[in-house]
Structure 1
Amino acid sequence: MNSGNQDAANPLKGLSEAKSGKGPPPVHLWNPPFCGDIDMRIAQDGTWFYMNSPIGRKPLVQLFSSVLRHDADGNYYLVTPVEKVGIRVDDAPFTAVRMAVEGEGQRQVIRFETNVEDEVTVDAAHPLRFAPEEGTGGLKPYVLVRAGLEALVSRALFYDLAAAGVVQDGWFGVWSSGQFYPMQKASEIGLGP
């Protein structure tokens, strides 16, 4: 990391002040100086690494995740009131690891819990999206957790999500909170004309 700030090498600096109260801190309101990149990475499976070693303490991962921000430049940063450091994210910063489905049809509601224990109800503010999976021809589902931060829905949950799907206007997809989230044209998977 290239920085004149000696404290920038310590990713814990400022986190104790940042994490207070309930819910994630207002990182979108903070505009501290950029202090460089640190050797931190979030793997596709949601594992956080610091200097190529997995961070095994879940409370520490939750603390870091609470000050994570995805900026308009496409990069991910840990942001505190006093500094901003860049980290690498292989795919999405979070992984959806649990799912609950209540109701059916247009009244169906889908909820996810992430690997850092964020709870998300799929709705207009937290939509699902389906992206092509490179090299397989399959789909990868994502749910918006907060402010540009998504969770990749795990493969096992994707099967459960597909089991909750229906055909609507020529598309196969799922309903949640009165919104329909299309996955694929029904005709492409043998469910329509």
Structure 2
Amino acid sequence: MPYEPPPELAGLSLAEVAELVAARKLPPVDQWSPPEQGDSEMRIAADGRWFHQGGEIRRPAMVRAFASLLLCDEAGQHWLVTPTQKLSIEVEDAAFIAIDVKREGDKLAFRLNSDDLVIAGPEHPITAEGDPDTPALYLAIRHGARARLNRSTYAQLVEIAVEQSDELTVSSNGERFPLIPA
């Protein structure tokens, strides 16, 4: 069966986004304790492209499948986890890139380069890192992995912040997130 990406974020209501998020069945990688550990020989570049043994993985369905197996431990090491193997994967910055955002009411929905949809809030906070002159914004995704907001998504979020208040903060699902690092 061919991979069908979800519709464009702008064309979805937040209720539809929530339905798509709930419908996606992800493997319980955080519950698996595989006996075998090794190196996947994979790398996720800072721009979100995936590589295996130096060659780029160009099939979106493959990237999406691998992304569903990602876990990042407390030390910041990323892993591809299956019931039988736990393989390290090099991640240059963040495992995902947030490529679009949509605000509806008090909720912010993000689309990732893996076609995942995430609603920011207590379980998926937005954090600002770097310094005030060159901040980098990240969105927590799942199992310790996160997405860096690309430039256009960052700009969209700044526009939302300016519309909401005089401060550079946004809110989603009852949580407030500063867009400038502390």
**TM bracket (short chain):** 0.7 to 0.9
RMSD after superposition: 2.1
Q: Which has the higher contact order (CA 8 A, sep 6+)?
A: 2
Contact 1:171 1:184 in 2 (8 A): no
**Residue 128 (1) aligns with residue 117 (2):** no
**Residue among 85, 89, 92 paired with 1:83:** 85
Residue 102 of structure 2: aligned partner: 100
Equivalence map 1:7-46=2 (5 Å): 22-46=24-48
- Amino acid in structure 2 at the alignment position of 1:85: L
After TM superposition, the score normalised by the length of structure 1 is 0.76
Deviation at 1:83, TM superposition (A): 0.8
- Amino acid in structure 2 at the alignment position of 1:67: L
Residue 158 of structure 1: aligned partner: 154
Q: Structure 1, residues 27-82: CA drift from partner, whole Å, max 9, x if none?
A: 00101124321320001111100011110011111111111111123211111001
Could you list the structure 1 runs, at least 4 aligned residues long, displaced by more than 6 angstroms after superposition. none
In structure 2, C-alpha distance between the alignment counterparts of 1:117 and 1:163, rounded to whole Å: 23
Q: State the percentage of identical aligned residues.
A: 34
In structure 1, C-alpha distance between the alignment counterparts of 2:36 and 2:170, rounded to whole Å: 41
In structure 1, C-alpha distance between the alignment counterparts of 2:179 and 2:63, rounded to whole Å: 31
- Amino acid in structure 2 at the alignment position of 1:111: A
Contact 1:32 1:83 in 2 (8 A): yes
Consecutive unaligned residues in structure 1, runs of 5 or more: 1-20, 186-193
In structure 2, C-alpha distance between the alignment counterparts of 1:45 and 1:29, rounded to whole Å: 29
Contact 1:30 1:80 in 2 (8 A): yes
Bigger Rg, which one: 1
In structure 2, C-alpha distance between the alignment counterparts of 1:53 and 1:111, rounded to whole Å: 32
In structure 2, C-alpha distance between the alignment counterparts of 1:93 and 1:116, rounded to whole Å: 10
In structure 2, C-alpha distance between the alignment counterparts of 1:117 and 1:145, rounded to whole Å: 12
Deviation at 1:85, TM superposition (A): 0.8
Q: Structure 1, residues 3-42: CA drift from partner, whole Å, max 9, x if none?
A: xxxxxxxxxxxxxxxxxx9421000010112432132000
Consecutive unaligned residues in structure 2, runs of 5 or more: 1-22
